[in-house]
Amino acid sequence: GSGDYTIRLWDVETSKLLHIFNGHNHTVTCVDISPLQSNNKNNNFGVICGNGYTICSGSCDNTIRVWDIETTKQLIVFKEHEHWISSVKYGLNELKNIGCANTILSGSYDNSVRLWDIRSRKQIQIFNGHTDYVTCVEYLPF
């Protein structure tokens, strides 16, 4: 993620730029790769159980976006946060033995943590109680 509002995907072995993702309207502050893709190069199931690889990103435009890594197509936009997104994390829950992560956890400068359902494209839960910015989030596997 970058201050130029883009996400850039690099090949770490060759240092070659593979893709540029455009769509955010402000600085991209955080990015996460689906656990499925980051652990298994031979799997053809995406995080939404489609045929492509996906990543999610958070931005100072107050949105979380889900992207198809191969096409750079934006698949989903979550807009319910009221301030900058500081952290995003895919869920580690599995659907049978396919391994699809169906949730995203996010933290924001609006002092909230939110849980999102990728399949329904809706917010599942909001966790209030922080008295200041939420700077990072993490899942406990279940």
- Kindly write down the DSSP assignment for every residue of the chain, as one continuous string: --TTSEEEEE-TTT--EEEEEE--SS-EEEEEE-HHHHH-TT----TTSSSS-EEEEEETTS-EEEEETTT--EEEEE---SS-EEEEEE----STTT----EEEEEETTS-EEEEETTTTEEEEEE---SS------PPP-
Residue 101 lies in a domain: yes
- For 69, phi then psi, to 5°, come to -65, -40
| Contact of 117 with 125, CB cutoff 8 Å | no
Residue 64 lies in a domain: yes
Structural domain of 57: 6-127
Percentage of the chain exceeding pLDDT 90:
70
The pLDDT value given to residue 100: 56
User: What is the C-alpha separation between 119 and 101, in angstroms, rounded?
Assistant: 10
Residue 139 lies in a domain: no
Residue 137 lies in a domain: no
Write the pLDDT tens digit of every residue in 32-91: 988 654 444 443 333 444 445 799 999 999 999 999 988 999 999 999 999 999 999 998
The tally of domains found in the chain comes to 1
Residue 136 lies in a domain: no
Residue 140 lies in a domain: no
Residue 118 belongs to domain with CATH number: 2.130.10.10
Residue 132 lies in a domain: no
User: What is the C-alpha separation between 3 and 5, in angstroms, rounded?
Assistant: 5
CA-based nearest residue to 74, from 93, 56, 62, 49:
56
The pLDDT value given to residue 140: 76
- C-alpha triplet 46, 47, 51: angle, nearest 5°: 20
Distance of CA 104 to the CA centre of its chain: 6
The pLDDT value given to residue 139: 81
Residue 90 lies in a domain: yes
Does residue 120 or residue 139 have the better pLDDT? 120
The average pLDDT across 117-128 equals 93
Distance of CA 27 to the CA centre of its chain: 15
